[in-house]
Structures are given as structure tokens and as C-alpha cells.
């Protein structure tokens, strides 16, 4: 059994190796036809660009995507210099000046490199993309499962098995954890800021992409596919680890369903049907660009369905989400539906113990998460102001630059690079705890107007600390349980693991009447009844 | 300012300190030689098993004590002068007190076995026992086999701990079944099976006779009462605990097995109190034992004594007995009294239901004439403390309790409640026709309301 698992690790690492080295593979020999296609796709009309690009790029072969991108950068730079010089030339007509300005290229060279590179890629991976799909994704999945599935037997009978979590390199911030950290950070940086390196990954997934949405795969298709695959594999691990707790099994199934169907399949199929692709479960302000003018315009221009999506999106945030939180707590969203939560609960589960439980972290958390919520609301207010009035700036600040700052800092760096990259170091809910504006909003509802609570079972707590250790949101659950108090914290995502790891049956997630939900206690149940009455009702 | 000094930073002493701080301005000093800060003793096993680090077992962050003006002294108390109200310590200067709370807990009982002083023989109680275990049995290469002696809660914990590091364990239990001194035989048998299912070499009706040494004064083997020689590198002695009161023996404080206290937790010396495992009640409540070495009772005594210290003189009058434990994967809770088959009271009868192939079971004790619920043991089922406490206070019948079982269930949502099987079994055994009643929050929250 152990050899099988070791073989699994080897195969998994081979898959990861193939996947990663695909970044550096291939040669690129763009043709004129490919250049023309690029110009059409990006709406580039500059003849100067065409002639510069033909001279610099065609008839030559680039050994890696990096040099192709550099060459493209140089072409764009040179072209734009020409156009700018032309536009500034004295004594030319207004039309000529306008045309010169119009010819300036604003597309980022990395995006141009992605398109041109993908069209012109040659080499082992490009010519055997299906084979490499199996050698990377296939091997990775198979190896991971070969490691995970035998745990049904190796981990012993069903029940909580956290044995050795703090003794193992991978789960106790050893060099493996730091390696995973570095890899995840690198992956997100490539994904967000250097898409040209994803060319070979997209080539591997093109067949699937064509089958689903009718077009080639972008880096976002790769990301969506990987998200689903990783969640499925790690969900199998969850099913094995928590097979004695039905709550965990149902919850895991639910996040899987919403990720695969709502976040991945439906938007892809909508694209195929030339409808505005939408993740119907993604609620504003997590979905921070919902009110951006390009989205509003897209929805408004898409007829009935577009309007439906618009109305649904607004209803989701203003009505559906808070009402559901009233009845079920924010868990219905954060740990049953949400994609970020879904990844945290599957891929992130081995790291859940690393969330800091200190009072200091709680303070940082409240400032940060509420700060992001304020930022998101202000940005949206500016966005809507600009949308309705046509003014592109508010109190002297350009709406566009507020949006860009938010997208970069919060949308990419915080939610992606830090949010997932820091799993092995700060725990699996870094984003949800410190950054998600939706979580902050739901938190208010959960804290002040909800039927949800984690009930503490009378006086049964032995202060062992399993609950606090394994709380991914960094709640010091024990602090409440050992006082006999229910847990009603705004940050609780209701994953239910505190209850699962409790050795004495002290914690239960449940919905009940609002009265008695918050129960500060002086003396715990089990002691003298009259003393309890005297002090607790004081 | 009144000087309250507490010896021992376990759950009893720390609970007292916290509650005294809530209700008074007294100067509080806690002395312990074990660790600088309070930790949860029950969680030591999880440190060895790698579920947590020792840091995680501390229920309060280190700044808590200074913020709440609870002075901590890490030292060992050598002598108590009750006349001059002074404590003499190993290293620091003497400490004066106005009120002294002794909460020094227990220590493992060793029964004078030959060879018990050998390296590799240890109990599991203190933080240092954990460190010792880490040295004696870090893995299955160093410790090829361990023998655990004593079929109680600490014994099975130790077996589980060693098992988690793949160290083969032989478990010597004096009784015919595991924990038969506390549990009805059917419950004890369920646990036997569970222990065996983990591959533990469980030896029932077997005692330790002698521990045999090898090189460098290390354990080599044990000899059992069946004259069987078992080679091992670790011997875990878990044959119970006794009050940790040696340092009090030459003081005027009255002792028996523990420090004798009245119902106000006062010793025979004015201003000196004892709580927790080390206290021995002279006026016991109900069926409770004079010495209760249980986390919960330590806490309750701490809560109660804090009231007295702060001027609200309060007798220790614990409510219904409850306890809990976990045996490998099987969680156990008990409420009220379920006596063993041997010690069953004359009017006490048991109803037992067990899952056909999983370690899930209920044993309810009831009054054979009135059908009143006397107590319940559950295995693999969680019950709501508040509901069970109310049922016991109201002398509810077993019929009522089983029909309203849904009110009491505390398992995670979507768990199988087993209520149907349980009731079917009950109805068959007693020729009754009970029907399950739907869970009601009104009943759960207002157990004493007369409304249905």
C-alpha cells in the first residue's frame, strides 16, 4: 500500500514537472497570415506595425516565448514612437493627427505574445498537445489519486485522523510547504501577469475548450479547468477523511457541484450559445466588476437574458444572500456554494490549522476585511456615478484608476496570489478571512440577525483546543466553548470541522430561535443549579 | 490588599483565579512547578499524536495573565507554614498569603512493582511525562513494543497515542473487560472489540507482575500475572492517579487520601482551601465519590470556591453527574448514573441498544418500578447536556426520554439519528408502542415549562 502511495507521489510530481516545463518549451515562427489574424483580433490597423512586425518577426524563429514577447515589445514600442512622432509633427491636418493617434497600440505585448505565440507554436508539446495533456494533467490526477485513495485503508477506521499533522514537513511549514507556497505564488503571477507562458497549457486544453464553448482555450479556461480538477481530486480526499460526518460529505458535494456546474460549465456553454457568460452564484461585492460599465453595457445589450442576469445579480446581493444568511448562517454561501470557499475546503484542508488564533490577528482581520468592503463599496459608487452621469472622475480621481487599483490589489494580488499562495503558511482562508468583502457583508448579517450558531454543549468542554487549532477562520472556538457560550462570530463560515474534531461532542452547528442564541455564561452547566441561576441571570 | 495564593495551575486553580479576578480586586498569585502557563492536560495526547503543538494546549494567550493581574510563579512549594501564612519555595523568596487554595491535582499511582524505577517506565499525567514519552518512544524503531498497564481512560489514551506512531501496543487490563469497573459489561465489551479492531494486543484478566531491566538500566520486558514474558521498550503505568499532596504531609492540614475539605471546600485550617483532584470531600453529594479526579469537577470546585473567597459563601453542590471520553474513534458521554452490572442498585435496570455492526450504543439506566431515567451512557452518539440535565432533574420516564430522543440528539446535522431502530428495539423489548416526537426548540430552551 505504501509503495502504491509512493508511486503516486512520483507520478504526481512527474505530471507537475511536465506541466511546469511546458512553460519553457516550443519554438515560435510567426507567419504573415498569423500576424494579420492577430491584428484583426486585436483591432490593430497600423500599417507601420504590420511592416515592422513582418520585418522583425516573420522569417525568424524564436526559441522561447520570452524572446518572442521581447521582439513584439520592441515592435510595439517602435511603432508607437513612429505614430507619436507623426501625431506631433507640425503643420499636418487634423484628420492626419487623429489618424496617427488612432494608430497607437494599447494592447499589452504580453497579450499579443499570447495570441501570436499560440498560433505559431511549434515543437514537442504543440505537436503532441493531447499526449502532453495526459502526461501533465492525466499523470498529475492519477498520481494524486494513487496517493489519496489508499488512505481509506492506511489511515485506519473512519474517524478524525489528524495524526502527525504537526510532525510532517508538508503540513507543518517545512520546506515542502514553502515549496508549495512558492509554486502557487509563481502560478498565480503567470496566470494574472504573464499569460504568454500559458500557451502550451491552453494548447493542451483546446480540444476541451472547443467542445464546451466553441473557441480556443484562454488562460482563464485553463484556470477554470484546473480549479475543477483540483477540487475533484481533493474532494475525494475530503470524502475519505471525513467519511464519518455526513455534514462534511454533503458540504463537499455541494461546493463541487457549484464549482463545476455554475462556475465552469454554465458560463462556457453560455459562451457557446453567444450569451453573456455568467456565474450565477457569484455575488457582488465578491464579483467586484459586476457594476463596471463594460459589464452593465454587455448585459443591457444582451436583451432579456442580460436584464435577467442584471436583476438577479442585484437581488442576489440585496435579498437572496442576506435572507439565506438569516436562516442558515453565511455557511450556505461560504462553505457550501462559493468557489473560493470550495478551493479552500478541498485543496486548502491540509493547511487549515495554520490560521492564527491570536487576538492580534483578529484585530488585523477586522480592519482589513471591513476596509476592503468599504473600498469595494466606494469603488462601485464611483463606477455607478460615472456610468449614469458620464463623468469619468469623481472628486478629482479617475473612476478607471480606482477600478484598476482595486482589480490589481484586491482582485488579483489579494484574492489570487496571496489568497491561495499563502495556504501552506497562513491557512486556507486567508482571502475569506482578511479580504473578501462579501464575507464581511455576510458577517454583519450573521452576527446581528441570524438563526445560525455553533451551540456549546453545556459544560462538556475540556479546553483541549482541537476546535481552535482546526478552525480555518482563526476563531478561538475554545475560548467560547470552555465558557459554555455559543459561537456566533461574524467570520464563521460554518465548515463544521470544529464539531468534527471535537473529542467530546461539545459543538454543533445549528439553526434555532434567535432568543437564547447569544448566551453569556458565568457558571457552566453541571454545577449547582441555584448558583448557575444566580450568577448567569445577574 | 488581600493576598490569594493558589498552588497549582491546572483547571481547578486557574478557574478559581479567573473567577476571583472577575469578582474581586484581591492580589492573585498562582504557583506551579510544572509549566509557566496553564495548559489543558487532557490535550497532551494530541501533542504526541501531532494533532497540535504544545502551544495549542494553552487556553489563554500568554499576555492574558498580566492583563488580568494574575501573578504566575514557576516554582515548587516545599513547605507550607499555616501559622505564619507563608509558603516556602525551592528557588524564589517565601510568599505570604491571606487565603491559600491548594489545587495540586494528581500524580500517577505506582504499585511498587519490581523494576518500576527502570528507564522506560512512566506514567502519563504531567507535561514532563509527555517529554519523557517523546524520548522513550519517538517511533517504532526505538520502541519496538510498548506495554500499557491499567485499563482506564489514561491507559487507552496512551495506547492510542503509541498506536498513532505505529508502535505495537500490548494492553494489560486487570478486569475481564476494559473499564469494567465503571461501565456495564455490554459497554465494556463494545470497547474491547473496538480496541481489538485497531490491532491493539489487548490482554484481559492480566496484571503486571514484574518489570525486567536490560542494558543501561532500560526496560527489556515485563512479566505478566500469567507468567508470560513480553519484550518491550516502554512500560506505561496507567493504573489510576492519587492526590498529589506529599508536600503537605508534615503540616497541620488534615489529610486522608486527599486533602480533607467540607462542603465549602475549606480544610481544617481557616483560610486554607483545597479544590480539584487533590481534595477529598467529607460531605459527598449524592452518589459521587469523595475524590473526583475529573476535569469538570475541578472546574466546578474552582467556580464555587471563587464565590466563597469573594464573600459569597457557597457550598460545593454539583448538579447531575456527567462525564465524557473518547476511546480511539468512539466518543462516550454519560449523564446521571449508570452503574456496572456488579454495583447496580436494587431498583436499577438497564435498557441497551447497539448498532448491528458499528460501535454505536446506548445504555439507559431506569427505575424498574417508576420507569424514571436514572442515567444514560452513549457511545458514538452525542447528546445535549442541557436536555439530559433537565430530564434528570424532572425525573422523566425512560418512555418519555426515548420518545423525545430528538430533543436530546447533538450529533452534527445530517447524521443518522438511529432513533427509529432505537425505538423499535425498545418497543419490542417492552411490548410498548412509543412513537418518536418531533424535536422542539421550545422544549429544549424551556425545559421547565409545562407547555407541551
**409-438 in chain B: CB under 8 A from chain A:** 410-416
Q: Contact A60/A47 with Cβ under 8 angstroms? A: no
Q: So what's the pLDDT on residue B450?
A: 58
For residue A157, tell me if it sits in a domain.
no
Record: contact A525-B326, CB cut-off 8 A: no
| pLDDT (tens digit per residue) in A235-245 | 999 999 999 99
Q: Is the pLDDT of residue A67 over 60?
A: yes
- Could you tell me how far CA B83 lies from the centroid of its own chain? 34
Q: What is the mean pLDDT of residues A335-341?
A: 96
A491 and A443 part of one domain: no
How far is residue B42's CA from residue A157's CA, in Å, rounded to a whole number?
23
B254 and B180 part of one domain: no
A437 and A465 part of one domain: no
**456-475 in chain A: CB under 8 A from chain B:** 457-460, 462-466, 468-469
A194 and A291 part of one domain: yes
Tell me the CA distances in angstroms from B314 to A457, A522, B98, B261, B285, one per residue in order. Answer: 25, 15, 19, 14, 14
| Residue in the block written with cell 489487548 | B202
Long-range contacts of A152-157 (CB under 8 A, 24+ apart): A152/A240, A153/A1, A154/A1, A154/A2, A154/A5, A155/A240, A155/A241, A156/B198, A157/B197, A157/B198, A157/B328, A157/B329
B88 and B191 part of one domain: no
B140 and B210 part of one domain: yes
Q: What is the dihedral of CA A509, A510, A515, A519, to 10 degrees?
A: -20
The mean pLDDT of chain A is: 94
A96 and A240 part of one domain: no
Q: What is the mean pLDDT of residues A402-430?
A: 95
B230 and B247 part of one domain: no
pTM exceeding the 0.90 threshold for the entire prediction: yes
Q: Which residues of B touch A168 (CB under 8 A)?
A: 50
Q: So what's the pLDDT on residue B452?
A: 46
Q: Which residues of B touch A244 (CB under 8 A)?
A: 329
| pLDDT (tens digit per residue) in A212-258 | 999 999 999 999 999 999 999 999 999 999 999 999 999 999 999 99
A429 and A499 part of one domain: no
Record: contact B57-A464, CB cut-off 8 A: yes
Alpha helices in A43-174 (DSSP H): 47-57, 65-88, 94-102, 109-120, 124-127, 129-133, 139-148, 151-154
Alpha helices in A289-436 (DSSP H): 293-301, 303-315, 321-328, 331-334, 339-346, 359-389, 399-406, 419-421, 423-426, 430-434
B233 and B147 part of one domain: yes
Q: Mind telling me how many Å the CA of B92 is from chain A's nearest CA? A: 30
B222 and B250 part of one domain: no
Reading phi first (left if > 0) and then psi (alpha if -120 to 50, else beta), residue B259 is in beta
A311 and A198 part of one domain: yes
Chunked into runs of 10 residues, chain B (452 residues) has average pLDDT values of 96 97 96 97 97 97 97 96 96 96 96 95 96 97 97 96 97 96 96 96 97 94 97 96 95 97 97 98 93 95 96 94 96 97 94 96 97 98 96 96 97 95 96 95 81 48
DSSP letters, B315-351, are -----S-EEEEEETTEEEEEEE----TTT--TTEEEE
Q: Which residues of A touch B200 (CB under 8 A)?
A: none
Q: Which residues of A touch B52 (CB under 8 A)?
A: 166, 465-466, 469
B235 and B256 part of one domain: no
CATH number at residue B345: 3.30.390.30
CA angle A438, A440, A446 (to 5 degrees): 100
Q: What is the mean pLDDT of residues A526-538?
A: 77
Q: Nearest by CB to B412, which of A166, A500, A525?
A: A500
B33 and B86 part of one domain: yes
For residue A403, which of A381, A423, A418, A421 has the smallest C-alpha distance?
A: A381
Q: Answer with the one of B263, B280, B309 that is the final residue of a domain.
A: B309
B328 touches chain A (CB under 8 A): yes
Domains contained in chain B, number: 3
CATH number at residue B128: 3.50.50.60
Q: Contact A527/B304 with Cβ under 8 angstroms? A: yes
For residue A526, tell me if it sits in a domain.
yes
| Residue in the block written with cell 513494543 | B145
Q: Is the pLDDT of residue A426 over 70?
A: yes
CA angle A158, A163, A165 (to 5 degrees): 125
Which domain covers residue A473, as residue numbers?
452-536
How far is residue B189's CA from residue B178's CA, in Å, rounded to a whole number?
7
Q: Contact A436/A473 with Cβ under 8 angstroms? A: no
B138 and B45 part of one domain: no
For residue A131, tell me if it sits in a domain.
no
**184-243 in chain B: CB under 8 A from chain A:** 197-198
CATH number at residue A507: 3.30.70.20
B2 touches chain A (CB under 8 A): no
Q: Contact B272/B312 with Cβ under 8 angstroms? A: no
A508 touches chain B (CB under 8 A): yes
Q: Answer with the one of A395, A426, A451 that is the final residue of a domain.
A: A451
Grid cell locating B241: 492517579
Q: Which helix (H) or strand (E) holds B203?
A: strand B201-203
- DSSP lists the bridge partners of residue A526 as none
Q: Answer with the one of A451, A481, A515 that is the final residue of a domain.
A: A451
Record: contact A458-B441, CB cut-off 8 A: no
Q: Which residues of B touch A523 (CB under 8 A)?
A: 303
Q: So what's the pLDDT on residue A357?
A: 97
3-class secondary-structure state, position B89:
strand
For residue B101, tell me if it sits in a domain.
yes
Please tell me the number of Cα atoms within 13 Å of A393 on its side-chain side. 5
Q: So what's the pLDDT on residue A101?
A: 87
Pick the residue of B12, B137, B319 with the most A CBs within 10 A to test the interface with A by mutation: B319
B84 and B156 part of one domain: no
Record: contact B382-A166, CB cut-off 8 A: no
For residue B152, which of B323, B9, B279, B319 has the smallest C-alpha distance?
A: B323
Which domain covers residue B337, as residue numbers?
322-445
How far is residue A335's CA from residue A446's CA, in Å, rounded to a whole number?
14
For residue B38, tell me if it sits in a domain.
yes
| pLDDT (tens digit per residue) in A285-304 | 999 999 999 999 999 998 88
ipTM of the prediction: 0.96
For residue A59, tell me if it sits in a domain.
yes
| Residue in the block written with cell 466553548 | A481
Domains contained in chain A, number: 3
How far is residue B149's CA from residue A491's CA, in Å, rounded to a whole number?
45
Q: Which residues of B touch A462 (CB under 8 A)?
A: 40, 42-43, 295-296, 324
A388 and A407 part of one domain: yes
The size of the A-B interface in CB pairs under 8 A is 174
Grid cell locating A405: 487599483
B223 and B174 part of one domain: yes
For residue A296, tell me if it sits in a domain.
yes
**237-296 in chain B: CB under 8 A from chain A:** 295-296
| pLDDT (tens digit per residue) in A468-523 | 999 999 999 999 999 999 999 999 999 999 999 999 999 999 999 998 899 888 88
A474 and A426 part of one domain: no
Q: Contact A500/A454 with Cβ under 8 angstroms? A: no
- CA-nearest residue of chain B to A480? B59
How far is residue A518's CA from residue A490's CA, in Å, rounded to a whole number?
13
A248 and A336 part of one domain: yes
A209 and A324 part of one domain: yes
Q: Mind telling me how many Å the CA of B314 is from chain A's nearest CA? A: 8
| pLDDT (tens digit per residue) in A102-147 | 889 999 999 999 999 999 999 999 999 999 999 999 999 999 999 9
For residue B113, tell me if it sits in a domain.
no
| Residue in the block written with cell 444572500 | A321
Q: Which residues of B touch A505 (CB under 8 A)?
A: 324, 331, 333, 382-383, 410-411
Q: What is the mean pLDDT of residues A156-181?
A: 94
Q: So what's the pLDDT on residue B449?
A: 65
- CA-nearest residue of chain A to B413? A247
A295 and A412 part of one domain: yes
Q: Answer with the one of A405, A420, A451 that is the final residue of a domain.
A: A451
For residue A517, tell me if it sits in a domain.
yes
DSSP assigned state of A9: H
For residue A161, tell me if it sits in a domain.
no
B357 and B377 part of one domain: yes
A436 and A474 part of one domain: no
For residue B273, tell me if it sits in a domain.
yes
Q: Answer with the one of B239, B266, B301 that is the final residue of a domain.
A: B239
Amino acid at each position: 500500500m505504501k509503495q502504491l502511495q509512493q508511486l503516486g507521489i512520483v507520478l504526481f510530481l512527474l505530471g507537475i514537472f511536465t506541466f511546469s516545463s511546458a512553460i519553457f518549451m516550443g519554438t515560435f515562427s510567426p507567419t504573415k497570415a498569423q500576424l494579420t489574424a492577430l491584428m484583426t483580433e486585436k483591432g490593430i490597423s497600423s500599417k507601420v506595425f504590420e511592416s515592422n512586425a513582418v520585418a522583425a518577426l516573420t522569417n525568424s524563429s524564436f526559441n522561447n516565448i520570452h524572446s518572442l514577447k521581447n521582439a513584439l515589445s520592441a515592435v510595439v514600442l517602435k511603432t508607437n514612437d513612429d505614430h507619436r512622432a507623426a501625431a506631433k509633427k507640425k503643420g499636418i491636418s487634423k484628420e492626419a493627427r487623429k489618424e496617427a493617434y488612432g494608430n497607437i497600440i494599447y494592447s499589452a505585448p504580453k497579450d499579443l505574445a499570447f495570441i501570436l505565440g499560440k498560433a505559431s507554436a511549434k515543437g514537442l508539446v504543440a505537436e503532441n498537445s493531447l499526449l502532453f495533456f495526459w502526461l501533465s494533467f492525466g499523470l498529475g490526477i492519477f498520481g494524486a489519486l494513487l496517493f489519496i485513495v489508499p488512505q481509506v485503508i492506511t489511515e485506519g477506521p473512519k474517524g478524525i485522523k489528524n495524526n502527525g499533522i504537526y510532525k510532517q514537513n508538508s503540513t507543518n511549514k517545512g520546506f515542502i510547504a514553502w515549496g508549495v507556497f512558492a509554486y502557487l505564488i509563481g502560478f498565480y503571477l503567470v496566470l494574472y501577469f504573464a499569460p504568454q507562458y500559458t500557451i502550451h497549457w491552453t494548447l493542451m486544453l483546446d480540444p476541451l475548450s472547443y467542445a464546451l464553448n466553441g473557441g480556443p482555450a484562454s488562460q482563464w479556461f485553463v484556470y477554470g479547468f484546473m480549479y475543477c480538477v483540483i477540487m475533484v481530486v481533493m474532494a475525494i480526499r475530503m470524502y475519505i477523511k471525513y467519511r464519518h460526518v455526513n455534514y462534511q460529505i454533503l458540504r463537499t458535494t455541494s461546493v463541487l457541484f457549484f464549482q463545476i456546474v455554475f462556475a465552469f460549465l454554465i458560463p462556457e456553454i453560455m459562451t457557446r450559445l453567444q450569451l453573456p457568460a455568467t456565474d450565477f452564484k457569484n455575488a457582488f461585492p465578491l464579483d467586484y466588476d459586476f457594476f463596471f460599465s463594460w459589464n452593465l453595457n454587455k448585459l443591457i445589450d444582451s436583451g432579456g437574458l442580460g436584464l435577467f442576469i442584471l436583476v438577479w445579480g442585484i437581488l442576489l446581493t440585496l435579498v437572496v444572500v442576506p435572507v439565506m444568511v438569516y436562516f442558515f448562517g453565511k455557511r450556505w454561501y461560504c462553505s457550501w456554494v462559493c468557489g473560493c470557499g470550495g478551493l479552500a475546503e478541498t485543496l486548502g484542508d491540509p493547511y487549515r490549522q495554520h490560521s492564527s488564533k491570536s487576538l492580534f490577528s483578529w484585530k488585523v482581520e477586522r480592519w482589513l476585511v471591513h476596509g476592503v468592503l468599504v473600498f469595494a463599496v466606494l469603488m462601485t459608487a464611483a463606477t455607478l456615478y460615472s456610468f449614469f452621469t458620464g463623468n469619468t472622475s469623481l472628486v478629482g480621481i479617475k473612476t478607471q484608476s480606482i477600478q484598476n487599483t482595486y482589480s490589481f490589489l484586491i482582485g488579483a494580488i489579494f484574492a489570487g496570489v496571496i489568497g491561495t499562495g499563502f495556504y501552506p503558511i497562513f491557512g486556507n482562508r486567508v482571502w475569506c478571512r482578511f479580504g473578501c468583502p462579501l464575507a464581511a457583508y455576510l458577517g454583519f448579517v450573521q452576527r446581528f440577525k441570524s438563526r445560525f450558531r455553533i451551540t456549546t454543549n453545556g459544560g462538556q468542554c475540556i479546553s483541549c483546543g482541537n476546535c481552535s487549532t482546526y478552525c480555518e477562520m482563526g476563531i478561538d472556538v475554545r475560548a467560547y466553548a470552555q465558557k459554555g457560550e455559543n459561537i456566533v462570530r461574524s467570520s464563521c463560515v460554518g465548515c463544521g470541522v470544529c464539531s468534527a474534531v471535537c473529542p467530546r461532542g461539545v459543538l454543533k452547528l445549528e439553526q434555532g430561535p434567535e432568543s437564547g442564541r447569544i448566551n453569556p455564561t458565568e457558571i457552566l452547566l453541571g454545577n449547582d443549579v441555584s448558583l448557575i441561576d444566580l450568577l448567569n441571570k445577574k | 490588599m488581600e493576598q490569594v495564593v493558589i498552588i497549582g495551575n491546572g483547571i481547578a486553580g486557574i478557574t478559581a483565579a479567573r473567577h476571583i479576578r472577575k469578582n474581586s480586586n484581591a492580589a492573585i498569585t498562582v504557583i506551579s512547578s510544572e509549566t509557566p502557563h496553564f495548559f489543558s492536560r487532557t490535550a497532551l495526547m494530541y501533542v504526541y499524536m501531532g494533532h497540535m503543538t504544545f502551544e495549542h494546549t494553552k487556553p489563554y494567550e500568554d499576555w492574558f495573565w498580566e492583563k488580568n493581574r494574575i501573578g504566575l510563579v514557576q516554582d515548587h512549594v516545599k513547605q507550607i507554614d499555616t501559622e505564619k501564612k507563608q509558603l516556602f519555595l525551592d528557588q524564589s523568596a517565601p510568599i505570604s498569603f491571606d487565603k491559600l487554595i491548594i489545587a495540586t491535582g494528581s500524580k500517577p499511582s505506582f504499585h511498587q512493582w519490581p523494576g518500576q524505577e527502570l528507564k522506560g517506565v512512566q506514567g502519563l499525567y504531567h507535561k514532563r511525562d509527555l517529554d519523557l514519552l517523546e524520548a522513550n518512544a519517538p517511533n517504532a524503531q526505538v520502541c519496538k513494543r510498548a506495554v500499557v498497564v491499567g485499563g482506564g481512560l489514561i491507559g487507552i489514551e496512551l495506547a492510542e497515542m503509541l498506536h498513532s506512531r505505529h508502535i505495537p501496543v500490548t494492553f494489560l487490563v486487570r478486569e475481564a473487560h476494559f473499564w469494567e469497573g465503571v461501565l456495564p459489561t455490554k459497554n465494556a465489551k463494545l470497547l474491547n472489540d473496538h480496541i481489538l479492531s485497531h490491532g491493539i494486543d489487548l490482554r484481559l484478566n492480566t496484571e503486571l507482575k514484574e518489570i525486567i531491566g536490560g542494558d543501561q538500566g532500560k526496560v527489556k520486558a515485563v512479566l505478566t500475572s500469567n507468567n508470560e514474558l513480553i519484550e518491550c521498550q516502554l512500560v506505561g503505568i496507567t493504573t489510576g492517579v492519587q492526590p498529589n499532596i506529599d508536600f503537605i504531609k508534615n503540616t497541620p492540614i488534615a489529610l486522608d487520601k486527599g486533602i480533607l475539605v467540607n462542603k465549602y471546600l475549606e480544610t481544617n485550617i481557616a483560610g486554607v482551601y483545597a479544590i480539584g483532584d487533590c481534595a477529598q470531600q467529607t460531605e459527598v453529594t449524592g452518589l459521587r465519590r469523595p475524590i473526583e479526579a475529573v476535569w469538570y469537577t475541578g472546574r466546578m470546585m474552582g467556580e464555587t470556591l471563587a464565590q466563597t473567597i469573594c464573600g459569597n459563601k457557597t457550598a460545593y453542590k454539583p448538579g447531575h453527574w456527567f462525564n465524557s471520553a473518547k476511546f480511539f474513534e468512539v466518543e462516550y458521554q454519560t449523564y446521571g448514573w449508570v452503574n456496572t452490572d456488579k454495583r447496580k442498585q436494587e431498583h436499577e435496570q438497564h435498557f441497551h441498544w447497539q448498532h448491528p455492526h458499528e460501535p454505536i450504543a446506548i445504555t439507559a439506566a431506569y427505575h424498574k418500578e417508576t420507569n424514571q431515567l436514572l442515567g444514560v451512557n452513549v457511545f458514538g452518539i452525542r447528546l445535549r447536556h442541557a436536555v439530559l440535565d433537565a430530564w434528570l432533574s424532572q425525573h422523566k420516564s425512560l418512555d418519555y426520554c426515548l420518545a423525545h430522543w430528538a430533543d436530546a440528539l447533538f450529533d452534527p446535522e445530517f447524521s443518522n439519528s438511529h432513533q427509529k431502530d432505537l425505538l423499535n428495539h425498545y418497543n419490542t423489548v417492552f411490548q410498548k408502542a412509543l412513537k418518536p416526537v418531533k424535536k422542539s426548540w421550545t422544549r429544549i430552551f424551556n425545559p421547565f415549562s409545562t407547555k407541551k
